[in-house]
């Protein structure tokens, strides 16, 4: 399904999803909770970081508390709906990129390219991101 974000509100069109990958702002993060089915998982690469992330980094107790507080609201909303929230810190990883390429080659993932721009038209392409 294709959603035109300029004229459609995805939150009102979609429902019953297992996983949502959020890469946008806090408003979109909150709306993403509404398209998941019970037991679904909201993963955000744009934050806020969650306690598991703080633990994985080995942060000191004060910073762990700060991280916990930053994500408290979204974690509470997710929990009240029977959902899970986690933060994914993005970094370059060749092995992961190979796995993603395998999913694409196998047909499990299907990238959709709307338009191709030559490098010289980069300024025109950026607003479409």
pLDDT tens-place string over residues 90-122: 888 899 889 999 999 999 988 878 889 999 998
pLDDT tens-place string over residues 21-42: 999 899 999 999 999 999 999 9
Quote the percentage of the chain above a pLDDT of 70: 99
Domain positions in the chain are 10-128
The H-or-E segment that residue 44 falls in is strand 36-44
What's the pLDDT band for 55 if we cut at 50, 70, 90?
A: very high
Q: How far is 32 from 19, CA to CA, in rounded Å? A: 10
- Take residue 97 and report the two structure tokens written for it: 């990129």
How many alpha carbons lie under 13 Å from residue 95 in its C-beta half-sphere?
Answer: 0
Q: How far is 44 from 70, CA to CA, in rounded Å? A: 13
pLDDT given at position 94: 92
pLDDT tens-place string over residues 59-68: 999 999 999 9
CATH of span 10-128: 3.40.50.720
pLDDT given at position 93: 87
Cα–chain-centroid distance for residue 11? Answer: 15
pLDDT at residue 75 is higher than 80: yes
pLDDT at residue 129 is higher than 80: no
């Amino acid at each position: 399904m294709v959603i035109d974000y300029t004229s459609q509100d995805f939150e009102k069109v979609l429902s019953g999803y297992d996983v949502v990958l959020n890469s946008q702002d806090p408003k979109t993060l909150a709306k993403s909770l509404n398209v998941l089915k019970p037991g679904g998982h909201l993963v955000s690469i744009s934050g806020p970081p969650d306690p598991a992330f703080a633990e994985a980094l080995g942060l000191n107790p004060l910073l762990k508390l700060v991280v916990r507080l930053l994500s408290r609201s979204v974690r509470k909303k997710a929990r009240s709906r029977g959902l899970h929230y986690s933060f994914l810190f993005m970094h370059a990883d060749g092995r992961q990129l190979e796995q993603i390429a395998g999913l694409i080659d196998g047909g499990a993932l299907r990238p959709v390219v709307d338009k191709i721009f030559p490098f010289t038209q980069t300024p025109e392409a950026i607003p479409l991101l």
